[in-house]
Amino acid sequence: MDYKDLIASNLHECTGLDKEQILGLIEIPPKLEMGDYAFPCFVLAKTLHKAPPMIANELKASEDLVKGFDGAVTVDAAGPYINFRIDRGVLAGNVVSEIIEQGDQYGNRNIGEGKNVIIEFSSPNIAKPFHVGHAFTTILGNSLANIYSRLGYNVIRFNHLGDYGTQFGKLITAYRLWGDEAAMQENPIDELTRIYVKFHDECKVSSEREKELEDTARDNFRKLEEGEPEEVALWQRFRDLSLQVFEKTYERMGIKFDNYNGESFYSSMIPGVVKMLEDKGLLEESEGAKVVKLDEEGLPPCLVVKSDGTTIYASRDLAAVLYRHEEFNFYKNIYVVGLPQQLHFKQVFAVLKKAGYDFADDCVHVGFGLLKFKPKKDENGNEVVEAFSTRAGNIIKLDDFLDKTTEKTAEIIRKNSELRGGDMTDEQIAKVSEIVGLGAVSYTYLKAGREKDILFDWDDMLDFEGDTAPYLIYTYARIKSILRKAEEQGFNASVDAVSKLTAEDEYAVIRSLADFKDAVVKAAESYEPFMISRQISLIARNFNRFYNNSRIINADTQESREARLMLCKAVSYCLKSGLDMLGIGVVEKM
Ligand code: ARG
């Protein structure tokens, strides 16, 4: 029985408010003793011309409000709120059996059935290193894609590769002058970065040299746009080699895409976009360039065609969104891209709207902050930012970051294993560290509101007792070990007595398990996976409190042991489900 749903249905009967609206209004009281759900009566004050506490009192007395509750839910008026309290035993039985039924897919729904949701994320730039900034979009986007598919949406994962633009004219030019074939084979992105930097350094030599290089680059980009075979072949090679490097990282992180249509894919569609905007009378000349003015939106004009006739980033995005709508008739088209590009997306969506495409309203820019390294104090008390080796200047490459994290994780896991008398082989340690380390990185990006900057610190990230992935995975592994031990001793879990799990610690675990389902929906609605990370972190804390205060295998009665083991099982499923939504794996032992 879904009591929240039943409560909403009854409130709908009593008040005439829309059920969906009611579901959105129902709150979880800040303290457990206040009940399980609360409905604030403020919305009804206007139409009923009564004060909210009075409305709460009258509603409380209504027969219709308690229909189907069968004594399992008690109703209270508290000021402007109606509080609903579900019988602890009934709640425990309901929640645990639902979880056992769904297993590690607990939290899934079918609210998105038949709806296409495009989630564009990662979108690194060809020939440039994949850095920790791209990790944010990659990890956040992957998590949102997981969450939406678990809610039943048909998710299409797009990687809008930065594989086009004037910089490719420069790269072609630089490659012909200084490209080193062997280095290209060895590490294409490093080599492409090297020659790109060299191009810019050479431009600084003299203004003649700069003009010569820039002219050649412009010429090469034009040839590329016109489809000249030699330029196209070079570009294709840069793209293929870079993509191979990116794909290795994706594979390591367990991330997949359905579509790699980068910016280049849309370049041939741009004349159509330009014509459409022209036909609608939206394109204006401005200093030789073509723009769409957006004054009425309070936005600067959107540049569509540059004065030299070449196309730019925004025009490719316009072509892309029209293509996506045509192909997928999307319910939502989500861009997981850093906050610095907020204006760009506002402009693109405003142009669409101006051109009469209402699906502009279904396009969403999901922005995020920056990863910053927490300064540390050196011996003299001066603040220093911990840096670690990168070959490409100040940029921290994701692969280096992941390597360093798994290394540090392995140290901890090895130490723990040694404390237990060395119960893990090197191979096991390596395997576990990869999952826990990558999980730690992902969790760091997902544990707080996405628009906040992250103040990164190694010790925080790998604190096995903190709000971290290692803590959650460790809790999961601990539960699995309890379950294994019980099985070895011939003890089983059973739902039969779960309704007896009404002690304070048990109730707290069950309450937090019950709230997980809503957290998933809220995470999707607000594009904030941290609603899930926060919830599973609460579940893990509640579980560990229960674990420390209660005997499980050695419980007083068989009934109590079986019920508690079942609760353990439910918690393990829910943790696994939540971590999986965040793109984080689990280990059975660590
Ligand atoms: N490649 C871009 C970058 O690295 C991000 C692309 C964002 N997506 C888009 N549709 N414009 O900054």
pLDDT tens, position by position, 501-520: 999 999 999 999 999 999 99
In a domain, residue 531? The reply is yes
Residue nearest to atom 6 of ligand 1 (CA): 123
Q: 32: domain range?
A: 3-86
CA dist., res. 529 & res. 520, Å (int): 8
391 has pLDDT over 60: no
Probe residue for ligand 1, chosen from 122, 130, 160 as the CB with the greatest number of ligand atoms within 8 Å: 160
How many CA atoms does the CB half-sphere of 229 hold within 13 Å? 0
If asked whether residues 408 and 264 sit together in one domain, one would say no
If asked whether residues 541 and 423 sit together in one domain, one would say yes
If asked whether residues 413 and 349 sit together in one domain, one would say no
Nearest ligand 1 atom to alpha carbon 338: 12
Nearest ligand 1 atom to alpha carbon 128: 4
Residue nearest to atom 8 of ligand 1 (CA): 160
Q: Does ligand 1 lie within 6 Å of residue 123's CB atom? A: yes
Mean pLDDT of 464-474: 97
DSSP string, 170-234: HHHHHHHHH--HHHHHH-HHHHHHHHHHHHHHHHTT-HHHHHHHHHHHHHHHHHHHHT-HHHHHH
In a domain, residue 347? The reply is yes
392 has pLDDT over 80: no
If asked whether residues 223 and 357 sit together in one domain, one would say yes
Q: Does ligand 1 lie within 6 Å of residue 317's CB atom? A: yes
If asked whether residues 542 and 447 sit together in one domain, one would say yes
State the distance from the centre of ligand 1 to the C-alpha of 168, rounded, in angstroms: 16
pLDDT tens, position by position, 78-122: 999 999 999 999 999 999 999 999 999 999 999 999 999 999 999
In the structure, what pLDDT confidence band is assigned to residue 397 with cuts at 50, 70 and 90?
Answer: confident
Residue owning tokens 């939206």: 282
If asked whether residues 488 and 569 sit together in one domain, one would say yes
Across the chain, which distance is largest between two alpha carbons, in Å?
89
For residue 321, what is the domain's CATH number? 3.40.50.620
In the structure, what pLDDT confidence band is assigned to residue 256 with cuts at 50, 70 and 90?
Answer: very high
Q: Does ligand 1 lie within 6 Å of residue 162's CB atom? A: yes
State the distance from the centre of ligand 1 to the C-alpha of 319, rounded, in angstroms: 14
Angle at 32 between CA 557 and CA 50, to 5 degrees: 140
Instruction: Please give the distance of CA 55 from its chain centroid, rounded to a whole number.
Output: 40
Nearest ligand 1 atom to alpha carbon 344: 11
For residue 515, what is the domain's CATH number? 1.10.730.10
CA dist., res. 166 & res. 80, Å (int): 61
For residue 13, what is the domain's CATH number? 3.30.1360.70
Residue nearest to atom 4 of ligand 1 (CA): 124
Residue nearest to atom 5 of ligand 1 (CA): 123
What pLDDT is recorded for position 386? Answer: 56
State the distance from the centre of ligand 1 to the C-alpha of 312, rounded, in angstroms: 12
State the distance from the centre of ligand 1 to the C-alpha of 163, rounded, in angstroms: 10
State the distance from the centre of ligand 1 to the C-alpha of 466, rounded, in angstroms: 34
CA dist., res. 166 & res. 220, Å (int): 9
Angle between helices 52-60 and 3-15 (to 10 degrees): 110
State the distance from the centre of ligand 1 to the C-alpha of 325, rounded, in angstroms: 18
Total structural domains within the chain: 3
In a domain, residue 99? The reply is no
192 has pLDDT over 80: yes
In a domain, residue 304? The reply is no
Q: Does ligand 1 lie within 6 Å of residue 160's CB atom? A: yes
136 has pLDDT over 50: yes
Q: Does ligand 1 lie within 6 Å of residue 310's CB atom? A: no
State the distance from the centre of ligand 1 to the C-alpha of 134, rounded, in angstroms: 10
State the distance from the centre of ligand 1 to the C-alpha of 367, rounded, in angstroms: 12
Mean pLDDT of 166-182: 95
Q: Does ligand 1 lie within 6 Å of residue 131's CB atom? A: no
pLDDT tens, position by position, 427-451: 999 999 999 999 999 999 999 999 9
In a domain, residue 70? The reply is yes
In a domain, residue 278? The reply is no
If asked whether residues 154 and 240 sit together in one domain, one would say yes
With CA atoms as reference, report the closest residue to 238 among 305, 175, 326, 313: 175
Residue owning tokens 């280095």: 183
Mean pLDDT of 402-427: 95
Q: Does ligand 1 lie within 6 Å of residue 324's CB atom? A: no
Mean pLDDT of 45-70: 92
Residue owning tokens 């042991």: 561
The residue out of 336, 371, 406 marking a domain boundary is 371
Residue nearest to atom 1 of ligand 1 (CA): 162
Give 138's contacts (C-beta < 8 A, 6+ positions apart): 121, 122, 250, 253, 255, 398
In the structure, what pLDDT confidence band is assigned to residue 390 with cuts at 50, 70 and 90?
Answer: very low
pLDDT tens, position by position, 13-39: 999 999 999 999 999 998 888 899 999
With CA atoms as reference, report the closest residue to 103 among 448, 541, 577, 434: 577
Residue nearest to atom 11 of ligand 1 (CA): 317
401 has pLDDT over 50: yes
Q: Does ligand 1 lie within 6 Å of residue 337's CB atom? A: yes
State the distance from the centre of ligand 1 to the C-alpha of 433, rounded, in angstroms: 32
Angle between helices 469-488 and 530-549 (to 10 degrees): 40
State the distance from the centre of ligand 1 to the C-alpha of 11, rounded, in angstroms: 45
If asked whether residues 338 and 486 sit together in one domain, one would say no
If asked whether residues 479 and 564 sit together in one domain, one would say yes
Probe residue for ligand 1, chosen from 337, 365, 395 as the CB with the greatest number of ligand atoms within 8 Å: 337
State the distance from the centre of ligand 1 to the C-alpha of 122, rounded, in angstroms: 8
In a domain, residue 158? The reply is yes
Probe residue for ligand 1, chosen from 324, 341, 395 as the CB with the greatest number of ligand atoms within 8 Å: 341
Looking at the whole model, is its pTM more than 0.85? yes
Mean pLDDT of 565-572: 98
State the distance from the centre of ligand 1 to the C-alpha of 7, rounded, in angstroms: 44
If asked whether residues 412 and 553 sit together in one domain, one would say yes
If asked whether residues 258 and 126 sit together in one domain, one would say yes
What pLDDT is recorded for position 394? Answer: 59
In a domain, residue 305? The reply is no
In the structure, what pLDDT confidence band is assigned to residue 1 with cuts at 50, 70 and 90?
Answer: confident
State the distance from the centre of ligand 1 to the C-alpha of 160, rounded, in angstroms: 7
CA dist., res. 175 & res. 191, Å (int): 9
Q: Does ligand 1 lie within 6 Å of residue 125's CB atom? A: yes
If asked whether residues 411 and 455 sit together in one domain, one would say yes
Please say whether the beta carbons of 118 and 334 come within 8 A: yes
Go through 482-518 and write b for each residue having 16 or more CB atoms within 10 A of its CB, e for each that does not: bbeebeeeebebebebbbbbeeebbbbbbbbbbbbbb
524 has pLDDT over 60: yes
State the distance from the centre of ligand 1 to the C-alpha of 123, rounded, in angstroms: 6
